[in-house]
Amino acid sequence: MLKQPDQTRLAQLVREILAELGENPDREGLLKTPERVAKALATLTQGYRQTPQDVLNGAVFQSAANNMVIVRDIEVYSLCEHHLLPFYGRCHVGYIADGHVVGLSKIARIVDCYARRLQIQERLTEEIAHAIQEITGAEGVGVVMSCAHLCMMMRGVEKQNALTVTSSVLGSFRTSPSVRAEFMSLVK
């Protein structure tokens, strides 16, 4: 796990970037911008300083339930590792319990734990699925994510309405077409 970023050093680097871009970091509107950006970056990358076990805080419970559990429409915000621009959207997480369930709010916290790192959506989807599998010992896990990427919207190809959809299926979600179909129909 990484240490907290040096806020003073980050702010100084942002100040240098502003100057390099031709801005005056001492003008009124930019005076506190380096500190605000440093604080925002620390928040947006806090996942480097967390583990799924940290955010779970022991909220894994024994359960005889052997049904599909789905948390849909979890808001996700992350930074693209290629351009440091945001991507955002929705994440749907499902699993079939096999003796253990996890507190429902913890699923969203696990999503945030991985999203609050420099990411690519494909890896983010996989990391969430594997974490849920490891934590719950689930019979199967499915994660579907649909996101808009500002690196595609604001620069480069400049496509405003393009959404990227990724999925990761493990265990029975991969091996059983009917389980996968049930999950996909419930997250639509």
Number of domains present in the structure of the chain: 2
Q: Are 37 and 62 within one domain? A: no
Q: Are 21 and 78 within one domain? A: no
Residue whose structure tokens are 């240490």: 3
Which CATH number covers residue 166?
3.30.1130.10
Any domain includes 51 = no
User: CB under 8 Å to 181, separation ≥6 — which residues?
Assistant: none
Q: Are 101 and 26 within one domain? A: no
User: What's the Cα-to-Cα distance from 64 to each of 55, 68, 96, rounded to whole Å?
Assistant: 24, 12, 11
Q: How many Å apart are CA 104 and CA 164, to the nearest integer?
A: 25
Any domain includes 29 = yes
Q: Are 29 and 64 within one domain? A: no
User: CB under 8 Å to 58, separation ≥6 — which residues?
Assistant: none
- Predicted model pTM: 0.94
Q: Are 39 and 63 within one domain? A: no
Q: How many Å apart are CA 29 and CA 23, to the nearest integer?
A: 11
Q: Are 107 and 39 within one domain? A: no
pLDDT digits (tens, 9 = 90+) for 70-105: 999 999 999 999 999 999 999 999 999 998 899 999
- Closest-CA residue to 147 (of 81, 97, 73, 95): 73
Q: Has 147 been annotated as catalytic? A: no
Q: How many Å apart are CA 118 and CA 84, to the nearest integer?
A: 7
Cβ atoms of residues 133 and 117 within 8 Å: no
The residue from 16, 81, 122, 134 that is catalytic is 81
Q: Has 81 been annotated as catalytic? A: yes
The residue from 7, 35, 151, 182 that is catalytic is 151
The residue from 7, 35, 46, 83 that is catalytic is 83
Range of the domain at 29: 7-44
Evaluate if residue 107 carries a pLDDT over 90: yes
The residue from 50, 91, 92, 121 that is catalytic is 121
The residue from 80, 91, 113, 147 that is catalytic is 80
pLDDT digits (tens, 9 = 90+) for 27-67: 999 999 999 999 999 999 999 999 999 998 888 888 887 88
Q: Has 83 been annotated as catalytic? A: yes
pLDDT digits (tens, 9 = 90+) for 108-140: 999 999 999 999 999 999 999 999 999 999 999
pLDDT digits (tens, 9 = 90+) for 150-186: 999 999 999 999 999 999 999 999 999 999 999 999 9
Mean pLDDT of the chain: 95
Quote the pLDDT of residue 2. Answer: 75
Q: Are 64 and 28 within one domain? A: no
Q: Has 80 been annotated as catalytic? A: yes
Q: Has 149 been annotated as catalytic? A: yes
Q: Has 113 been annotated as catalytic? A: no
